[in-house]
Chains A and B, each alone.
Chain A
Amino acid sequence: MRIRIFGNLTDIFGADNYTIEPAATVSDLKEKLEQIFPQLRNCVYLTIVNDEAAQENDSIPSDAEVALLPPYSGG
Protein backbone atom coordinates (compact mmCIF):
# COMPACT_ATOMS: atom_id res chain seq x y z
CA MET A 1 0.00 0.00 0.00
CA ARG A 2 1.08 3.54 -0.76
CA ILE A 3 0.99 6.15 1.98
CA ARG A 4 1.08 9.89 1.44
CA ILE A 5 3.42 11.75 3.77
CA PHE A 6 3.20 15.44 4.74
CA GLY A 7 4.95 18.20 6.68
CA ASN A 8 7.85 17.37 8.98
CA LEU A 9 7.23 13.64 8.47
CA THR A 10 8.72 13.98 4.96
CA ASP A 11 12.10 14.58 6.68
CA ILE A 12 11.82 11.16 8.35
CA PHE A 13 10.61 9.28 5.26
CA GLY A 14 12.85 11.24 2.88
CA ALA A 15 9.91 11.55 0.44
CA ASP A 16 6.25 12.56 0.25
CA ASN A 17 5.06 8.99 -0.24
CA TYR A 18 6.02 5.55 0.99
CA THR A 19 5.07 2.05 -0.11
CA ILE A 20 4.71 -0.72 2.44
CA GLU A 21 3.07 -4.16 2.51
CA PRO A 22 -0.66 -3.92 3.38
CA ALA A 23 -1.61 -3.57 7.05
CA ALA A 24 -4.96 -4.73 8.43
CA THR A 25 -5.49 -1.93 10.93
CA VAL A 26 -4.15 1.51 11.73
CA SER A 27 -2.25 0.20 14.76
CA ASP A 28 -0.67 -2.56 12.61
CA LEU A 29 0.43 0.03 10.10
CA LYS A 30 1.86 2.33 12.78
CA GLU A 31 3.72 -0.54 14.37
CA LYS A 32 5.29 -1.54 11.05
CA LEU A 33 6.24 2.03 10.23
CA GLU A 34 7.68 2.68 13.69
CA GLN A 35 9.92 -0.37 13.35
CA ILE A 36 11.35 1.03 10.12
CA PHE A 37 11.40 4.67 11.31
CA PRO A 38 11.77 4.69 15.11
CA GLN A 39 11.71 8.54 15.16
CA LEU A 40 7.99 8.31 14.32
CA ARG A 41 7.33 7.30 17.93
CA ASN A 42 8.15 10.87 18.99
CA CYS A 43 5.92 12.47 16.36
CA VAL A 44 2.36 13.70 16.63
CA TYR A 45 0.31 12.85 13.55
CA LEU A 46 -3.15 11.87 12.37
CA THR A 47 -3.66 8.79 10.22
CA ILE A 48 -6.18 9.49 7.48
CA VAL A 49 -7.92 6.59 5.74
CA ASN A 50 -10.08 7.53 2.76
CA ASP A 51 -10.47 11.16 3.87
CA GLU A 52 -11.40 10.33 7.47
CA ALA A 53 -9.25 10.57 10.60
CA ALA A 54 -8.85 6.92 11.64
CA GLN A 55 -8.59 5.41 15.13
CA GLU A 56 -6.05 2.78 16.18
CA ASN A 57 -8.46 -0.17 15.77
CA ASP A 58 -9.93 0.93 12.42
CA SER A 59 -9.32 -1.46 9.54
CA ILE A 60 -7.61 -0.31 6.35
CA PRO A 61 -9.24 -1.51 3.09
CA SER A 62 -6.62 -2.78 0.63
CA ASP A 63 -7.39 -0.02 -1.89
CA ALA A 64 -7.63 2.79 0.69
CA GLU A 65 -5.86 6.11 0.37
CA VAL A 66 -3.79 6.52 3.52
CA ALA A 67 -2.09 9.74 4.60
CA LEU A 68 -0.07 10.77 7.65
CA LEU A 69 -0.71 14.36 8.75
CA PRO A 70 1.36 16.19 11.37
CA PRO A 71 -0.09 19.38 13.00
CA TYR A 72 -1.08 21.95 10.38
CA SER A 73 0.92 25.15 9.88
CA GLY A 74 -0.65 27.05 7.00
CA GLY A 75 -1.54 30.73 6.86
Chain B
Amino acid sequence: MNERQKNFFIEGAISEIYIAEILQKYRTETKAGGHSIFLGQVRADEKDGQEVQAIEFTAYQEPAIKKMAQIREEIIAKYKLIGLHVYHSLGIVQKGEICLFAFTCAQHRKPAMEACSELVERLKKELPVWGKEICNDGSHHWKENR
Protein backbone atom coordinates (compact mmCIF):
# COMPACT_ATOMS: atom_id res chain seq x y z
CA MET B 1 0.00 0.00 0.00
CA ASN B 2 3.03 2.24 0.16
CA GLU B 3 3.26 2.91 -3.56
CA ARG B 4 4.60 6.40 -4.12
CA GLN B 5 1.90 9.04 -4.36
CA LYS B 6 2.71 11.25 -7.37
CA ASN B 7 0.77 14.35 -6.44
CA PHE B 8 -1.10 15.15 -3.29
CA PHE B 9 -2.91 18.22 -4.60
CA ILE B 10 -6.52 17.92 -5.72
CA GLU B 11 -8.35 20.73 -7.54
CA GLY B 12 -11.32 21.81 -5.42
CA ALA B 13 -12.89 19.91 -2.50
CA ILE B 14 -11.96 16.34 -1.60
CA SER B 15 -15.04 14.14 -2.04
CA GLU B 16 -16.24 11.80 0.69
CA ILE B 17 -16.59 9.10 -1.98
CA TYR B 18 -12.88 9.33 -2.80
CA ILE B 19 -12.05 8.94 0.91
CA ALA B 20 -14.29 5.86 1.12
CA GLU B 21 -12.63 4.36 -1.97
CA ILE B 22 -9.19 4.63 -0.35
CA LEU B 23 -10.48 3.02 2.86
CA GLN B 24 -11.97 0.17 0.88
CA LYS B 25 -8.56 -0.70 -0.60
CA TYR B 26 -7.43 -1.74 2.88
CA ARG B 27 -9.89 -4.64 3.19
CA THR B 28 -7.24 -6.89 1.70
CA GLU B 29 -4.48 -5.44 3.92
CA THR B 30 -4.99 -8.01 6.66
CA LYS B 31 -1.76 -7.20 8.56
CA ALA B 32 -3.23 -3.77 9.36
CA GLY B 33 -4.78 -3.29 12.78
CA GLY B 34 -5.47 0.43 12.93
CA HIS B 35 -6.20 3.39 10.70
CA SER B 36 -6.14 7.02 11.69
CA ILE B 37 -7.78 9.75 9.64
CA PHE B 38 -7.77 13.51 9.85
CA LEU B 39 -10.15 15.54 7.70
CA GLY B 40 -9.72 19.29 7.48
CA GLN B 41 -12.96 21.14 6.75
CA VAL B 42 -13.52 24.75 5.68
CA ARG B 43 -14.97 26.54 8.69
CA ALA B 44 -17.41 29.46 8.31
CA ASP B 45 -15.48 31.79 10.61
CA GLU B 46 -16.70 35.31 11.24
CA LYS B 47 -14.29 38.04 10.04
CA ASP B 48 -15.13 41.70 10.69
CA GLY B 49 -18.84 40.90 10.81
CA GLN B 50 -18.72 38.86 7.60
CA GLU B 51 -18.91 35.09 7.23
CA VAL B 52 -16.26 33.03 5.46
CA GLN B 53 -17.92 31.34 2.46
CA ALA B 54 -14.91 29.57 0.98
CA ILE B 55 -11.14 29.28 1.09
CA GLU B 56 -9.02 29.57 -2.03
CA PHE B 57 -5.80 27.58 -1.68
CA THR B 58 -2.65 28.33 -3.65
CA ALA B 59 0.76 26.66 -3.41
CA TYR B 60 4.34 26.94 -4.56
CA GLN B 61 3.66 23.59 -6.13
CA GLU B 62 6.95 21.97 -7.15
CA PRO B 63 8.71 22.60 -3.80
CA ALA B 64 5.53 21.63 -1.91
CA ILE B 65 5.36 18.28 -3.74
CA LYS B 66 9.05 17.60 -3.01
CA LYS B 67 8.64 18.51 0.66
CA MET B 68 5.53 16.37 1.02
CA ALA B 69 7.36 13.39 -0.49
CA GLN B 70 10.12 13.87 2.09
CA ILE B 71 7.68 14.16 5.03
CA ARG B 72 5.84 11.10 3.76
CA GLU B 73 8.99 8.95 3.56
CA GLU B 74 10.15 10.07 7.01
CA ILE B 75 6.83 9.36 8.72
CA ILE B 76 6.39 5.97 7.05
CA ALA B 77 9.87 4.96 8.24
CA LYS B 78 9.53 6.42 11.75
CA TYR B 79 6.20 4.69 12.53
CA LYS B 80 6.70 1.60 10.31
CA LEU B 81 3.44 2.36 8.55
CA ILE B 82 1.62 -0.02 6.24
CA GLY B 83 0.06 2.89 4.36
CA LEU B 84 -0.05 6.68 4.22
CA HIS B 85 -2.23 8.82 1.98
CA VAL B 86 -2.45 12.58 2.03
CA TYR B 87 -4.41 14.98 -0.18
CA HIS B 88 -4.70 18.76 0.00
CA SER B 89 -7.06 20.95 -2.01
CA LEU B 90 -6.03 23.71 -4.38
CA GLY B 91 -8.39 26.38 -5.67
CA ILE B 92 -11.78 27.13 -4.16
CA VAL B 93 -13.27 24.96 -1.40
CA GLN B 94 -16.68 26.00 -0.04
CA LYS B 95 -17.53 26.12 3.69
CA GLY B 96 -18.39 22.64 5.00
CA GLU B 97 -16.30 20.91 2.32
CA ILE B 98 -13.15 18.87 2.95
CA CYS B 99 -9.80 20.47 2.04
CA LEU B 100 -7.34 18.07 3.70
CA PHE B 101 -7.36 14.29 3.97
CA ALA B 102 -4.61 12.56 5.94
CA PHE B 103 -4.67 8.81 6.43
CA THR B 104 -2.24 6.49 8.14
CA CYS B 105 -2.40 2.74 8.59
CA ALA B 106 -0.29 0.58 10.90
CA GLN B 107 -0.34 -2.76 12.69
CA HIS B 108 -1.51 -1.07 15.91
CA ARG B 109 -3.49 2.03 16.86
CA LYS B 110 -0.74 4.06 18.57
CA PRO B 111 1.66 4.38 15.63
CA ALA B 112 -1.29 5.03 13.30
CA MET B 113 -2.63 7.85 15.50
CA GLU B 114 0.74 9.42 16.32
CA ALA B 115 1.82 9.29 12.68
CA CYS B 116 -1.39 10.96 11.51
CA SER B 117 -1.01 13.73 14.07
CA GLU B 118 2.63 14.35 13.14
CA LEU B 119 1.77 14.29 9.44
CA VAL B 120 -0.87 17.02 9.84
CA GLU B 121 1.32 19.18 12.09
CA ARG B 122 4.29 18.92 9.75
CA LEU B 123 2.41 19.67 6.57
CA LYS B 124 0.73 22.74 8.09
CA LYS B 125 4.12 24.04 9.19
CA GLU B 126 6.39 23.00 6.32
CA LEU B 127 4.39 23.14 3.07
CA PRO B 128 4.34 26.36 1.03
CA VAL B 129 0.54 26.53 0.82
CA TRP B 130 -1.67 29.56 1.51
CA GLY B 131 -5.38 29.89 2.22
CA LYS B 132 -7.37 32.99 1.27
CA GLU B 133 -10.66 33.18 3.18
CA ILE B 134 -13.37 34.68 0.99
CA CYS B 135 -16.31 36.30 2.79
CA ASN B 136 -19.94 36.74 1.67
CA ASP B 137 -19.40 40.44 0.82
CA GLY B 138 -16.47 39.57 -1.48
CA SER B 139 -13.79 40.76 0.95
CA HIS B 140 -10.96 38.42 1.83
CA HIS B 141 -8.55 37.63 4.67
CA TRP B 142 -5.42 35.55 4.55
CA LYS B 143 -5.70 32.49 6.76
CA GLU B 144 -3.21 32.18 9.62
CA ASN B 145 -2.25 28.82 11.05
CA ARG B 146 -2.26 28.53 14.83
Contact = CB atoms under 8 A, between A and B. Distances in A.
Interface of A: 4, 6-8, 11, 16, 48, 51, 67, 69-75
B142 A72 contact: no
A45 to B, nearest CB: 11
B58 A73 contact: no
A74 B123 contact: yes
Contacts of B37: none
18 contacts: A6-B60, A6-B128, A11-B142, A16-B58, A69-B128, A70-B142, A71-B145, A72-B127, A72-B145, A73-B130, A73-B142, A73-B143, A74-B57, A74-B59, A74-B88, A74-B127, A74-B129, A74-B131
Number of chain B interface residues as a range? 20 to 34
Nearest to A46: B128
Contacts of A74: 57, 59, 88, 100, 123-124, 127, 129-131, 145
B25 interface: no
B88 A75 contact: yes
Contacts of B127: 72, 74
Contact of A72 (B40, B120, B128): B128
Majority-rule SS of A interface residues: loop
Given A72-B145, A75-B88, A75-B124, A67 B60 contact: yes
B23 to A, nearest CB: 21
A51 to B, nearest CB: 6
A73 B130 CA distance: 5
B33 interface: no
B46 interface: no
Contacts of A71: 144-145
Interface in B84-126: 88, 99-100, 120, 123-126
